[in-house]
Homo-oligomer: A and B are copies of this chain.
């Protein structure tokens, strides 16, 4: 299959400067603060994000240079198929985290509960919209009033 190429939209900054010692997921990174510098060309796309308490970050594990199909995950002592783990060394080294969004200041996002290494290239941001255990102060911004509609509405051609 052909390659698919993306250009990072910003850089994630965190207290974690090396691979070891990083919380293995946001639920273990409670309160740890970081920020994201979004390239200014994308600032307009951050509108309305401040209504959401939590966001998905999709990012590139830039320190992972290879992969194995079986890995021993941090939580286990047995080899597991890489797709049943969150291990960074995967065929496409894309990371996914849910973090708490505390402020949006122009092209800067202030975040908490960060389990990501400093300097990580950010690929995408999506709103986190579902109730999830362990998230306090949950909010879904402008979507709040559309909760019922979400379950029945289908797409149309507007994004063609």
- When the two chains form their complex, are residues B51 and A84 in contact, meaning their CB atoms are under 8 A apart? yes
Q: Is A137 interfacial (CB 8 A cutoff)? A: no
A131 CB contacts on chain B under 8 angstroms: 132-133
How many Å from the CB of A148 to the closest CB on chain B?
10
Chain A residues numbered 56-76 whose CB sits less than 8 Å from any CB in chain B: 56, 58, 60, 63-64, 69-72, 74-76
Chain A residues numbered 111-134 whose CB sits less than 8 Å from any CB in chain B: 121, 123-127, 129-134
Q: Known contacts being A27-B150, A28-B152, A157-B19, is A96 close to B4, with CB within 8 Å?
A: no
How many Å from the CB of A55 to the closest CB on chain B?
8
- When the two chains form their complex, are residues A47 and B94 in contact, meaning their CB atoms are under 8 A apart? no
How many Å from the CB of A132 to the closest CB on chain B?
5
Q: Is A81 interfacial (CB 8 A cutoff)? A: yes
